[in-house]
Copies of this chain bind each other. A is one copy, B any other.
Amino acid sequence: MDAQFGAVEGGGTKFVCAIGSKPGDIRNHVRIATTTPDETLGKVAQYFQNIRLQTEIKSIGIGCFGPIDPNKGSSGYGRITTTPKPGWGGADIVGSLSTVGLPIAFDTDVNAAVLAEHRWGAGKDLTDLIYVTIGTGIGGGAVVNSELLHGTSHPEMGHIFVGREAGDESFNGVCPYHSDCLESRASGPSIQSRWGKPPEDLPDDHPAWSMESRYIARGLANLTLTLSPQRIILGGGVTIRSHIFPMIRNQLTKELSGFKQDGLLANNIDEYVVPPSLGTASGILGGIALARNEVAND
């Protein structure tokens, strides 16, 4: 058996825990409901304490919903900072696992996902890529020069300004902070709010999808012009509706092609905007990838 690592995918509705080493070697999956921080994180710590009685693991990687403080030197390191989720503002994720006694890596869910795709998936052999999740919220993580992009803390790509599409002027969006950011206008809840039905109940030919693909393309155009990545990976619940990939690609081509910069797109558009090749496992594999990076040369 390969050396084993712990992984946590921390989300607003559940915390998924597992151990493993790579795609195809993930075991002991459990799902813990996200209730209070004490209860949820207590169960996560208990999971790893139990695991260690049976299996040696070298480190734990946590990809968590945010915003978070991922800076080891900071007084707030290891915590969720501010979140509209009741009780979770300031929750000490890393501290709650200190009783486990293992090295811990802590990052955003989307940075974990992009790291896994970079190591094993659609970003393998690339140096620069972006992972964007479009679901209940919208967030993005990036690898630049083969390293995770953090900057001061971590990007908040879901909150970039995208304006209002023609015919959508009267909709005020769903983000509590901005009416005209990408999350406000293209997240799952924005579709529900605008059309009265959740994305999974809207047929492929519903006008919601044309509008959705235009907003996403505008967001991806801005990310392309800022980071010039080799590839953008689109995950999250909304993008399970895979008919929107061709729509997004067509619209993004229009957004960028007027600006004829040779070389801005390394691949043709079909290879530029792609689903995660690790599928829904990119989250938990992100935890594994973070854990491996935390201990040298794994």
Query: A residues near B, CB below 8 A?
Result: 67, 69, 71, 74, 76, 81-82, 127-128, 140, 144-145, 147, 149-157, 159-163, 177-178, 180, 218, 221-223, 225-230, 258-266
Chain B residues closer than 8 Å to A161, beta-carbon distance: 161-163, 218, 221-222
Known: A160-B222, A161-B162, A226-B227. Contact between A263 and B153, CB under 8 A? yes
- Chain A contact residues: over half helix, strand or loop, or mixed? loop
Please name 14 further chain A to chain B contacts, defined as beta carbons within 8 Å, in addition to the given A144-B144, A145-B150, A152-B264, sorted by A numbering: A67-B261, A76-B263, A81-B262, A144-B145, A144-B151, A152-B266, A155-B225, A155-B227, A160-B225, A160-B226, A163-B163, A177-B258, A222-B222, A222-B226
Chain B residues closer than 8 Å to A160, beta-carbon distance: 221-222, 225-226
Q: Is the CB of A156 within 8 A of B259?
A: yes
* A136 CB to nearest chain B CB (Å): 17
Name 29 interchain pairs, CB-CB below 8 A, sorted by A.
A67-B262, A67-B264, A81-B262, A128-B151, A145-B147, A149-B227, A151-B228, A151-B229, A151-B230, A152-B230, A152-B265, A152-B266, A153-B228, A153-B261, A153-B263, A153-B264, A154-B228, A155-B226, A155-B228, A156-B228, A156-B261, A159-B259, A160-B222, A160-B225, A161-B218, A163-B163, A222-B226, A226-B226, A227-B227
Chain B residues closer than 8 Å to A227, beta-carbon distance: 149, 151, 155, 226-227
Chain B residues closer than 8 Å to A71, beta-carbon distance: 263
Chain B residues closer than 8 Å to A153, beta-carbon distance: 228, 261, 263-264
Give the number of times this chain occurs in the complex, counting copies.
2
Known: A144-B151, A145-B147, A149-B144. Contact between A156 and B265, CB under 8 A? no
Q: Is the CB of A81 within 8 A of B156?
A: no
A229 to B152 Cα, complex, angstroms: 6
Chain B residues closer than 8 Å to A180, beta-carbon distance: 163
A287 to B156 Cα, complex, angstroms: 33
Q: Is the CB of B226 within 8 A of A157?
A: yes
What are the 8 A-B residue pairs with the smallest beta carbon separation, nearest first?
A151-B228, A177-B259, A163-B163, A128-B151, A153-B263, A81-B262, A152-B266, A177-B258
A221 to B71 Cα, complex, angstroms: 22
Interface centre among A151, A160, A258, A266 (most CB of B within 10 A): A151
* A141 CB to nearest chain B CB (Å): 11
Interface centre among A128, A140, A180 (most CB of B within 10 A): A128
Closest residue of chain B to A69 (Cβ to Cβ) is B263
Chain B residues closer than 8 Å to A144, beta-carbon distance: 144-145, 147, 149, 151
Known: A151-B144, A178-B259. Contact between A157 and B264, CB under 8 A? no
A155 to B228 Cα, complex, angstroms: 5
Chain B residues closer than 8 Å to A178, beta-carbon distance: 258-259
Q: Is the CB of B163 within 8 A of A264?
A: no
